Amino acid sequence: MPRTGPRWLIFAAVAALPALVILVPLGSFLAMSLAHAEKHQIIYDWTLRNYASFLGNWTYLSTFLGTLWLCLEVVLLSLIVGYPIAWYIWRQKSWKRYALLQIAALPLFMSYIVKLYTLRSMLGLNGLVNQALVSLGILEQPSQVFLYNQRAVLITMTVIYLPYVVLPIFLSLERIPRSLLHASTDLGAGGWDTFRRVVLPLSVPGTIAGALFAFVLALGDFITPQMVGGTTGFTIGRVIFSQFGLAFDWPFGAAMAAILLLVALLLIVTAGYAASRRRV
């Protein structure tokens, strides 16, 4: 092994580019959150006033809390829908299982904007959802409740981020040794008992990972709320994005994004810890 000198040189050579394109931007954005904007000039005066004005302004704070709540709803809804799907795929045999898995994973690679566009037209006044409900007699006439509100954001985000939830759950189900299931059946457990006492606890790590993916992705999304949320579907992502456009208050936007970053990091660390504790 080379002496310490060359080892540092090699490290510097390898790490220089990643540091330049990842670490430096993150650092400069955090520094920006401590500056303030004055007449289109950014003045670095290392102040916490952006954070203070965020926490002291109920409009911003309630939007932030509302976004966290929305993300939680997205997570819950996608677990309720995604878990049975992952379980169903896992119950299939050999080729059918992998074919279904691929079919469920492929939408991950389909255009995000096109998904938004399609969902928006499906939820609209003349959309598929309304037509189906009217022809089934559930609604008397097409309703506008499915689009341009918080509910529309919830439905759309759930559909878009669902594959991110299904995949990790499936992967953790797949890791359960068949012998455990046989043992459980041999010991007299019925299907439900085996599921509740063996399958469900062992799939917790994947479920946490899926929930985390959905939460973090929904947290930073600003295009979905803008496209289907209308005026009531405001999220913190939209507020941040607007600071870099019309509002032109970069330091304030950076401070709000830093809070978002903090929440995301806390969640990633907590979820990582929880998942590692559950590993058998």
Partner 1 sequence: MLRTRGDRIAEYAAGGLTALVLLVLYAPILVSAVFSVVEIRRGEILWETFTFRHYVTLWSNASVTDALVNTAIVATCSAGIAVALAVLLALYTEWPGAIARTALTLLIYLPFLLPPIVTGLALLVASANAGLDRGLFTIVIGHTIFVLAVAYRLVLTRLQALPPTLIEASFDLGASRWQTLRYVLLPHLASSILTGALLALTLSFDETLISSFVAGNEMTLPLRLWAMMRVGFTPEINALVTLVLLVSIALALAAASLLRPKGEPEED
Residues 149-188 that bind partner 1 (CB under 8 A): 159, 162-163, 178, 181-182, 185
3-state secondary structure 99-117: HHHHHHHHHHHCCHHHHHH
Q: How far is the CB of 257 from partner 1 (least distance, A)?
A: 5
97 with 89: CB under 8 angstroms? Answer: yes
Site for partner 1 in 21-80 (CB under 8 A): 21-26, 28-29, 32
Question: Does residue 14 interact with partner 1 by CB under 8 A?
Answer: yes
Q: Which of 72, 76, 100, 180 binds partner 1 (CB under 8 A)?
A: 100
Q: Per CB under 8 A, which region of 7-15, 58-66, 136-144, 203-211 contacts partner 1?
A: 7-15
Q: What share of the chain is helix, strand, coil (3-state, %, to 5)?
A: 75, 0, 20
Size, binding site for partner 1 by CB under 8 A: 87
Question: Does residue 248 interact with partner 1 by CB under 8 A?
Answer: no
Site for partner 1 in 101-130 (CB under 8 A): 102-122, 126, 128
As a whole number of angstroms, the distance between CA 161 and CA 147 comes to 18
Question: Does residue 2 interact with partner 1 by CB under 8 A?
Answer: yes
Q: Is 4 exposed, middle or buried (0-12, 13-18, 19+ CB in 10 A)?
A: exposed
Question: Does residue 254 interact with partner 1 by CB under 8 A?
Answer: yes
Question: Does residue 148 interact with partner 1 by CB under 8 A?
Answer: no
Q: Which of 34, 75, 214, 216 binds partner 1 (CB under 8 A)?
A: 216
Question: Does residue 261 interact with partner 1 by CB under 8 A?
Answer: yes
Kindly give, in sequence order, each residue whose CB lies less than 8 Å from that of residue 275, ignoring residues fewer than 6 positions away.
Answer: 204, 205, 208, 209
At position 234, the amino acid (one-letter code) is: F
